[in-house]
Amino acid sequence: MQRLFNKQVVLGVSGGIAAYKSAELVRRLRDAGAEVRVVMTQAAREFITPLTLQALSGHPVHGDLLDPAAEAAMGHIELARWADMVLIAPATADLMARLAQGRGDDLLTTLVLATDAPVAIAPAMNQAMWRDQATQANLATLMSRDVRVFGPAAGQQACGDVGPGRMLEPADIAARAAECFERGVLTGRHVLINAGPTREAIDPVRYISNHSSGKMGFALATAAAEAGARVTLIAGPVNLPTPLRVQRVDVTSAEEMLGACLAALPADIFIASAAIADYRPARCAETKLKKKSGSEEGMTLELVRNPDILATLANHPQRPWSVGFAAETNDVTAYAKDKLVRKNLDLIIANDVSSPSIGFNSDDNAVTLIDRSLQQHALPQASKQKLARQIITFIAQRIDIPSH
């Protein structure tokens, strides 16, 4: 079931007595970590109210192909693109016939035509209707188009008949849906990443900070989510959109970043890509600091050490597998090895930031990964996205811990 984590499932509900079970199915899919958007046919609304499915899915239910308001919010093409899977449960004989004919006469059938995502159906109907030649021909057509078919089960039916045609139980349908997805290298893992700079306030309008853009950390968060992980991204002040399927927490100062990182524990892996200010002003002035009039004297700012977030988490009782970055302009690997040992890390990523084409605020980076046995693994200059995928694969091959 972990394979459903972060997956986007459009659940189509057509009009059969088994439609009441779709409420339980929504819960099962969400419990497994999937995001669910429900699309109902007109007939389905006779069996279960959209309000029930809206409450359980946490999103408005879609139903009308020609509703301008609904199309403006998320139309059939957006839904078709959004879906990682279109799952139709129950799928009635009529719906199977319309799908087999390739019709697009309502939102659900149009969506199936428009999507590139896998389509699965859980048929539910009277046993005689299921055995009918027309239904069996439609089933064969749908299967020849790679539509996956879950069930039906056999047994006592709502109409009193006994035989094949009962919809599978929601837990079985959710399990079958999960099997349609491959396991990512970090499926089931919680990955905590910090990114960007911190800002340390001097007064209400001034602060100490650095040039980190957050690009490296955001690329790592994207790569970890693509690898199937649950990702929490603690972001300093940056101007970047939140990657898909990533839980983002915005912070400003190093102390806030430490609090947010601790609050996100337990995590399996912590990657500290943030450029955290080592020092902060001892006091933040309540009002804007003024120049002394007529004086050419400079001013002295008293600074105090900020907490070391990485060292705190790497030595915490709920210690995650801990990865640091070492941004250096000289003696890069020597300083990196020192940080690996001093902060008790599993991996350090030595980052030569002496060239403006890599490191801070650039689109590319070049790094050397150094593990606990001080083995080095160089990743040559590439986009931060590409490097992030390589780093995540490297980490996934080395972690040997039960998932949280």
Q: Which is nearer to ligand PMT, 187 or 351 (CB)?
A: 351
Residue 288 known to bind ligand: yes
CA 179/CA 143 separation, integer angstroms: 17
> Nearest approach, Cβ of 367 to ligand PMT (angstroms)?
7
Binding site for ligand PMT (CB under 6 A): 196, 212-216, 254, 272-276, 278, 306, 308-310, 324-327, 339, 351, 353, 359-361
Nearest one of 183, 187, 189 to 321, comparing CA atoms: 189
Residue 241 known to bind ligand: no
Q: Which is nearer to ligand PMT, 184 or 214 (CB)?
A: 214
> Nearest approach, Cβ of 389 to ligand PMT (angstroms)?
15
Residue 309 known to bind ligand: yes
**170 with 210: CB under 8 angstroms?**
no
Classify the C-alpha dihedral 180-182-187-191 as positive or negative. negative
> Nearest approach, Cβ of 318 to ligand PMT (angstroms)?
16
Q: Is 261 a residue of the active site?
A: no
**394 with 377: CB under 8 angstroms?**
yes
- Could you give phi then psi for residue 389, rounded to 5 degrees? -65, -40
CB atoms within 10 A of CB 296: 6
Residue 310 known to bind ligand: yes
Angle between helices 93-100 and 107-114 (to 10 degrees): 40
Residue 278 known to bind ligand: yes
Q: Is 146 exposed, middle or buried (0-12, 13-18, 19+ CB in 10 A)?
A: exposed
Tokens of 93: 């004989």
Q: Which is nearer to ligand PMT, 174 or 388 (CB)?
A: 388
Q: Which is nearer to ligand PMT, 17 or 379 (CB)?
A: 379
> Nearest approach, Cβ of 399 to ligand PMT (angstroms)?
18
Q: Which of 159, 180, 261, 284 is catalytic?
A: 159
User: Among all residues, which ones are annotated catalytic?
Assistant: 159
Binding residues for CTP: 278, 288, 307-310, 325, 339, 343
